[in-house]
Structure 1
């Protein structure tokens, strides 16, 4: 087992630096959204091919998360964290200098390889913080993913409106450099990493399966779900996942320890995370379009992308505000409670929005409630994972949980896009989603959040986080030998 160095920097500084790194990475996932309508003209591409600016990042992130988690457990988490931030800075520079869609998409893919930073940060916190501080610190780190995504849209819209689009990516690269420098100064290195062998065949099989799955989900809405490419990708993903599972159960040092992953607490947490990830993105996908729809439609607000982005900012602030609340609930009642409560808050907010979304204050209230629900639930997920896996597998296990959330949000994007495009109406020459489609998406989001709460309710009873993360707790786990 690896031996972490004692923390020489104040614990608060360690938490702040890692959370800053997490926000920096999550910002780049939404930085490109305001540019999507302009990309075809800027890079001489079609709207369909320009959508690869988002798809490439999702695919690269999905492939890299489990690999980064395993390498971190083998080589040291600080070292791999620095590699991720380096790739983020390099990818941002490639995008900022690009003059064609090919280079733009390549840079976005390189940026996506940094997606594992949040799960790495949570693992580092487990290594270096005392148990009584771990629940609150992990909660802050986990919610940094949602905070960055919420703040990315208004920040990028503001920069794109008042500066050139390349400034967006120079800013992302600069933030990555600053985060890397702070990591070097504050985050202690691991004296003796756990080592072990990397599983190249497992990485190849899982990467192939995730590429096929993300391509099917992301392209289904654009090219049609019954299309040959989409169905073939789904079939390829299923076949590769079966081969991956068979191999991982046979190899002595797997990329993902499926024996640990199928423990009830880990399995149910990851399943709830996938469904919750689907639900959490509904707010941004629907409200961003609704705010910008023409007033003549009778249900649009005719506002700019900047206003639509600013509407998401209070949700990000609520995530930050609810992070310590999630930690307190975890300490006193166990991490299951804030996950269930957060999912129920999310379900209630979408139910409210499905009934009332004709005034901006109603959308704002829903955004605040959604951010609060995400803050509660996101803060609990790392504690559920860490209290159920050995310390030497923390990075890989948190990476898998992060991957499940990413799969959920990607599925939400595809399904929402399909539903909003399937039922449209024309207003003043603009094709906009029908109000029935908007209500349907919100109801589906509420149902997904409710399902996540039901799944979380079946989680085994666990001790409060103040004691669950003590090393002695691992002695009560079943042997994984």
Structure 2
């Protein structure tokens, strides 16, 4: 098979990085609007919160599906499909003028979440090995960069041009990126054989929707309430059906035999805890900056000022992405992951022990972001060093999904802690100082758990090299390739 035409490395890396940036931006742009959207749209606050939940749900469902289709039908093609759906969703939200069109548009924007794992997989196929680690580090850092910049940017756009400007802007950027991808990104010749596992995708979607609804709405519905219990039961039931279905299917939605390989499984578990600690950082800082000083730790800053003070953490992820790339080249994936988790964990511990102040809050958040940038850069390297090229996108998609589950869990845990440990100021309940300390200790625990798991990730020599096919040790079975998966005896061929 002929190789894909080689595009300029900087151009390809830049365009794919912008794709990751727009994904993280559109996820956070709507958050500052939530207090005003009930008045603007004539709905309740609970209804307005679905504008965040809808994007989370569709992103979680679309990421593994789109990533698997990228391996089968073309990575550039699915990149364009995801971007088109996200851009169309932005347009619907901008012109709809009501709650229902906005909800549909926000759900469609969730498809953009797949851009990051598919983009990283394109880098593996098209970038030279000496540039791959740096490209992966930059692409991985876009989650934090866009998240930090999205909050102040949305405030500026909203104040100057109104709420629809947030969606017009993402639609315009999506249209420009579509043109740039066609010009700067070549289609990969790598393909995974077989038919798409429709039944496996549908069953997995039920599992994910049920689980994420519990995590995102459990605090509002009541953790012991009937809706939470029913959704949990349905998710577990469909998960029990999905696992044997995947093991019997010739071309499964998720190759569980590859997913349980120690390098892949342990990296994904460590990714869950890293995603938890990363998302906790932004939630904690927001509380510290904005709640009243009477809480004992709050700084009572205006929303715009608080948003601007979150920018340094995002910029540091951008600054440290090339540093993370050099660490990957010199150390390999596992030591880089452990270093990043250590920085995050020690910073959380320092924030518990140090007296609260504006400088400590901003510096602590920035250092956690530095550790996040380093850790996130290492994860795709470890994953791609353990899976064949024809499974790159789907393996990265599952890793992104696991990280999303970690962020959703962080939100749920923090909501539980802040609801349980409160202090009342002028008749309004706020998280107490004890609640804030408990949240920071949760960050310490997540980083410690991720570090312990990371210590057991097996690597060969200096570390995994994502530019090569994974090779087996003497006496060890090689990683399964497409031909091996086709020969594997199974009872069903899927749908």
Shorter-chain TM-score bucket reads over 0.9
**Stretch moving more, 228-237 or 389-398:** 228-237
Asked if 1:82 corresponds to 2:75, the answer is no
Within 2, Cα distance between the matches of 1:52 and 1:37?
Answer: 13
Query: 2:491 is matched with which residue?
Result: none
Residue 347 of structure 1 corresponds to 345
Q: Which of 299, 309, 312 is residue 310 of structure 2 equivalent to?
A: 312
Measured against aligned partners, the alpha-carbon deviations of 1:335-389 in whole angstroms (never above 9, x if no partner) come to: 0011111111111111122233621101111011011100110110110000000
Please give the secondary structure, in 2, of the residue aligned with 1:364: helix
Quote the Cα distance in structure 2 between the aligned partners of 1:4 and 1:56: 39
Cα deviations by residue, 1:364-421 (Å, 9 ceiling, x for unpaired): 1101101110011011011000000000000000000000000000111111112112
- 1:468 is aligned to 465
| TM-score of the aligned structures, taking structure 1 as reference length | 0.96
Aligned to 2:226: 228
Rounded Cα–Cα distance in structure 1 between residues aligned with 2:71 and 2:247: 19
Q: Normalised by the size of structure 2, how large is the TM-score?
A: 0.93
State the match for 2:357 in structure 1: 359
- Tell me what 1:28 maps to: 26
> Quick one: which of 166, 169, 174 aligns to 2:167?
169
Distance 2:265 2:426 in 1: 50
Unaligned stretches of 5+ in structure 2?
485-495
From 196, 206, 213, the equivalent of 2:204 is 206
**What is the RMSD computed on CA atoms of the aligned residues?**
1.6
Secondary structure of residue in 2 paired with 1:114: helix
**Distance in 2 separating the partners of 1:41 and 1:468:** 53
Q: How far off its partner does 1:191 sit?
A: 4.8
1:4, 1:128 within 8 Å by CA — same for their partners in 2?
no
Per-residue CA deviation, residues 115-169 of structure 1 (Å, 9 max, x unaligned), is: 1100011100011112222111111111112211121112112222333011111
Q: Specify the alignment match of 2:117 in structure 1.
A: 119
CA contact (8 A) 1:3 1:192 kept: no
**Corresponding residue for residue 37 of structure 1:** 35
**Secondary structure of residue in 1 paired with 2:112:** coil
**CA deviation map 1:230-251 (0-9, x unaligned):** 1111111111112111111100
Deviation at 1:464, TM superposition (A): 4.1
Per-residue CA distance 1:248-292 (angstroms, 9 max, x = gap): 110010011111110000000000101111111111111112211
Contact kept, 8 Å, 1:4 with 1:189, in 2: the verdict is no
Aligned partner of residue 161 in structure 1, secondary structure: helix
Alpha-carbon distance, 1:423 to partner: 2.2
Q: Deviations for 1:55-87, whole angstroms, at most 9, x for unmatched residues?
A: 111110010011001110111100110111111
Match of 1:426, SS? strand
- Deviation per CA, 1:198-252: give whole Å up to 9, x if none: 0001001100000000011111011110011111111111111121111111001
Among 449, 452, 458, the residue aligned to 1:451: 449
* Cα distance in structure 1, aligned partners of 2:344 and 2:220: 28
Shift of 1:331: 1.5
Equivalent residue, structure 2, for 1:478 = 478
Determine if contact 1:4/1:188 at 8 Å carries over to the other structure. no
- Following the alignment from structure 1 to structure 2, what is the Cα–Cα distance between the partners of residues 309 and 3? 49
Question: 1:217 — aligned with what?
Answer: 215
Q: 1:322 and 2:320 equivalent?
A: yes
- Change in 2 beyond 3 A, CA 1:289/1:479: closer
Structure 1, gaps ≥5 residues long: none
Counterpart CA distance in 2 for 1:57 and 1:394 is 24
Alpha-carbon spacing, 1:57–1:470, altered in 2? closer, same or farther (3 Å): closer
Matches within 5 A, 1:10-409: 10-191=8-189, 193-356=191-354, 358-409=356-407
**Residues 314-336 of structure 1, C-alpha deviation per residue, up to 9 Å, x if partnerless?**
11111112212222222222100
Distance 2:383 2:148 in 1: 25
* Counterpart secondary structure, 2:430: strand
Contact preservation (8 Å) 1:119, 1:399: yes
